[in-house]
Chain A
Amino acid sequence: MLTRKTILNLVFVSMLSLITLNIGAQTAAEIVQKANDKRLGEKSSISEMSMIIKRPTYERSLSFKSWTKGTKYSITLVTGPAREKGQAFLKRDREMWNWNPKISRMIKLPPSMMSQGWMGSDYTNDDAMNQASIVKDYTHKMLGEETVENLECYKIESIPFEEASVAWGKVILWISKEESLLLKQEYYDEDDFLIKTELGHNIKTLSGRVLPTQFEIIPADKPDQRTIVNIESIEFNPDIEDNFFSQQNIKKIR
């Protein structure tokens, strides 16, 4: 039999836990926002990256340049190898286009394109064009604390909104407490199977910010395969107009 006091106590405890959970949720979202801002700039960024696809018997490489503004806009331009050079991708909100200079055509891309790997790599269109998606398309929950690369990290679970067009069912993030560095991400599909793990390495100061400058992507079912993305250079918060992210511009951007 429950006494009045126990009931009150229960109500109080559950209210308290609700409040704490709520604070936890806010904090988790803030932590994710902070790590994302640190990596992509609070307003905008321009970066040059190289990618190496590593397999037990061979390697292939690709390089690209990327412009982002907030969570809405991005342009990615392939700068190498010669075979792929000049391909450009534009993202505005939920719409995406690919400019293919070889055939002089602007191709509208379907949402299912987002899960496609770049040139057969483990780096997807979603990774390349939708980097800020983690902030706007997910709800975040604090799971606890763990150490990654000898740094104390928050462990956060991120679940996409129903209507968000993202390729994942769940993402677990490890973000360092001190510098807000995104050091580890685990991507799960809708059936809760681990698909890939992304690790942040080579923590360095780049354009005045401490950042992991290398990302290693390991597919869960093929642990001997790697895709490594290096940030070669990055500029934070340059002034870029919204109309920079246009079909006109991806035809001539260099």
Chain B
Amino acid sequence: MKYAVVLATIMLVMPLLTSAQSNDKFELNGYITNMQYVSISEMPDIIPEEFKDLLEDDNNLYNTNINFQNRLNMYWYANDKWTFSAQMRNRLIIGDQIRLDFNQQIEKSYENNGNYFNPAWNVAVGNSYILNLAFDRLYADYSSGNLDVTVGKQRINWGKTFAFNPNDMFNTYSYFDFDYEERPGTDAVRMMYYTGASTSVEFAANIDSAAQVTAALKWNINVNNYDVQLIGGMLQESDLALGIGWSGYVKNASWRGELSWYQPFENFADTTGVVMLSTGLDFNIGSKWNLQTEMMFAHLSEDKKVSMLNAYSSPSSVKDLAISPFQILGSGMFQASPLSTFSLACIWYPHQDIKGIFVSPSWSYSISDNFNASFYWQLFNGKFPNEITQEVKQQTVNSGFVRFKYSF
């Protein structure tokens, strides 16, 4: 414990002292955040004894937490061909979430998040806290002429749309986790050969915690001012993966889309495959408004169970991205002043087994050039199991977050 406290102190204070040391060869940047949050859910009909003290007089359950997060991005530009990077995400989480983690599910997930290599350590674990240090990027990048090769833990982002990304085979994440915009890295090899200023051929392959390989080729072409990507490959050694994605514009608005088909090699002729299409428009009005809309249609495999709970957790594979045959998102952002930005995002899941909506207003405020405060609210209403009793019924979970972020 003593060791952990010392380490945590060094981790949090070091960036302040060095204040983003950079020169031509080395660069260090990142941020520190403090976030307080509460999740309010309805009281289940029967309450296990250990949850009694979460209950308030208004018959709701309050799950309250404090989270400190530090990100460190380190780069070493060895020469004009080689770049090395190590990036850390370090977290101290204190609160009910950990206290109620009876099966150590959260604790385990912090040390093993589905990757082959897991350079992540719970350096201190208590009844109601976890201090976790983790490298989520660790790679070498070689670049020569038109060729770029990156080997190691990295993020491979193949998305074209903003919320639902069926083309994004290497980079599944939870849309709702706004506190981790970098998203996890994956253990991969990636090669890019640029055939023009906005065209390229790309090969990527990764390995997951079950030692399954996903590999694909992607052609990036430009047709009539549309960026188009064509994807062909194999998902987790078990599925054929085909996809097409595009982004271009219709009048003044962007039109983006992704279509993907994942079909098991075994039972190739049957209906266990998944087809997903996501498409949307985004545009700006004047100098202050930005509006976005996106919808996803999916043909799900027959054995797929439709539940709203699946929406929240990060999907284990891109095949689990669509939780129902149709979902639609609308969002807007308003820059009220250089300091203050408001936004609102809504998702509707009309499927009868979910009847779900997600509503999330947020406000971000710049306290100084590098110090930012933000407030987020997330409301889920739909049919899903209660987090304690697993009883499925129409219910609401509200979560509020206040976050301070210092970037260096």
Contacts and interface: CB of A to CB of B under 8 A. Distances in A.
A60 B338 contact: yes
Given A83-B370, A120-B335, A111 B252 contact: yes
A102 B407 contact: no
Interface in A100-137: 102-105, 107-113, 115-117, 119-121, 124
A55 B225 contact: no
A147 B254 CA distance: 43
B219 to A, nearest CB: 14
Nearest to A124: B287
Interface residues of A: mostly helix, strand, loop or mixed? mixed
B91 to A, nearest CB: 18
A117 B155 contact: no
A248 interface: yes
B183 A103 contact: yes
B293 interface: no
Which has the most chain B C-beta neighbours within 10 Å: A82, A92, A103, A254? Answer: A82
Interface string A59-96: 01100000000000000000001110100000010110
Interface residues of B, number: 52
A247 interface: yes
B122 interface: no
A220 to B, nearest CB: 13
A60 B366 contact: yes
Contacts of B225: 94-95
A81 B368 CA distance: 10
Given A82-B370, A105-B159, A110 B407 contact: no
A202 interface: no
Interface stretch (B110-118, B278-286, B313-321, B393-401): B278-286
A14 B222 CA distance: 50
B267 interface: no
Interface string B224-237: 01010000000000
A247 B200 contact: yes
A11 B286 CA distance: 47
B194 A102 contact: no
A110 B287 contact: no
A252 B290 CA distance: 28
Given A85-B29, A246-B194, A108 B407 contact: no
Contacts of A3: none
Contact of B285 (A112, A119, A121, A254): A112
Contacts of A116: 284, 287, 290
Interface of A: 53, 55, 58, 60-61, 81-83, 85, 92, 94-95, 97, 102-105, 107-113, 115-117, 119-121, 124, 165, 242-243, 245-248, 251-252, 254
Given A103-B183, A120-B337, A247-B198, 16 more contacts: A60-B369, A81-B369, A82-B370, A82-B408, A103-B157, A103-B182, A109-B254, A110-B252, A112-B284, A115-B286, A115-B287, A117-B287, A117-B288, A117-B335, A246-B198, A251-B148
14 contacts: A60-B338, A81-B370, A103-B183, A105-B157, A108-B247, A108-B249, A108-B254, A110-B282, A120-B339, A120-B341, A247-B197, A247-B198, A248-B192, A251-B148
Nearest first, the 8 closest Cβ-Cβ pairs linking A and B are A120-B338, A110-B254, A112-B252, A246-B197, A83-B407, A81-B369, A112-B284, A82-B407
